Structure 1
Amino acid sequence: MGIREDRKAATLQAIHAAALELVESHGLDSVTVGQIAARAGISERTFFRYCDSREAAIVPAQHELIDAVAGCEIAPGSTSAQIFRLLAGECRRILVAEIRASEYRRISRLIVIEPKLLLAITRQEQAFSAATAQELRRRGLLPAMPALMIGETLAVLWRVAWQCFGQAERAGQPADPVELFDAAMSELSGLAVAVSE
């Protein structure tokens, strides 16, 4: 990473940490963008360059997913299945990185007590799915329907892994989001075989 990318990553991390601390302490409805920005040491204007809402500051991973998909090397002539496997691998790579760098257990707990976060996550998933489909079409790799199916399926895999993790956390059971992502991929493969029979 260059200096600019390092600075951008550090600012996003500061926003994320400030949002988590404030929302855990005061609740989502009591926290303003101004408070998050002040805690992160930035202006509100800078905050909105990185996040479009308080909720998005807490769950920032979708931007990384969109960037990973947009930057993924895909050979011309690749089949839908090959493209899907490649992009699912990128999603898994981002998931591993997020777990190493993020406070995913804290986020999971907040989602349980702050239902508005689910709306932000849903908007982010929709943006990811649309951006994935648009990028695949823009590059001329796939027509509209398979491109959209890949975008939607990747969003579902991501969501299912995190929902299963949250359920296990609430039940006091050990869980690993990466293992759950892999299990969701395996289930999806089984479903695809069943559909083709």
Structure 2
Amino acid sequence: MRVRPISTDVLVEELADLLTSRESDSYLRVAFDGAPATGPGALGDALVGPLRARGRPAMRIDAADFLRPASLRLEFGRNDPDSYYQGWFDEAGLAREVLDPAGPGGSGRVLARLWDATADRAVRESYAELPAGAILLVSGPLLLGGGLAFDVTVHLEMSAAALLRRTPAEDAWTLPAFGRYAEEVGPASLADVVLRVDDPRRPAMVLERS
């Protein structure tokens, strides 16, 4: 594997340049895909300011706000990795409420949050009208390979050892799901940008795999 070490600040600036180089009169749907320990949400958050400074409106979307109801998610128990892999996230809802409206010919009317997992009910939130040229920054795990429509994809990866070390003990039951994802989907082979974040303070951009 050939990588280029890069500081977090430079990484954010380079990604902001990459995203704003795309067509500015249409919406841009960007995925930040990775296990929670890799920090996909933090990277998405860090890009909001630089994108706006470059004249592009930005909206953050978290896949954790698009979960399926508990009766479906937890049908086989609270700690079932197969359910987490295949049935926790409401991909249809994310497509319907966010990605399709921001796609070609879409209405530009999106719902930033669909489901409140704590209350286990739909979120009472109004739809937002995307301004022209808006960039949607969607973060979460298991986003690639399932047919979700993104224009740019960024995958954050860790070695199995680093993922085990950096995942809280109470969430270790999810690790087999990420193993399946890496083996069955191969997200690093699908993403436009791959970042190695074994130490999130010292990311590296993957340039080539051996």
> TM-score higher than 0.5 here?
no
Structure number with greater CO (CA < 8 Å, separation at least 6) is 2
- Tell me which structure has the larger Cα radius of gyration: 1
Task: Name the one with the larger strand percent.
Answer: 2
Query: What is the TM-score normalised by the length of structure 2?
Result: 0.28
Query: What is the TM-score normalised by the length of structure 1?
Result: 0.29
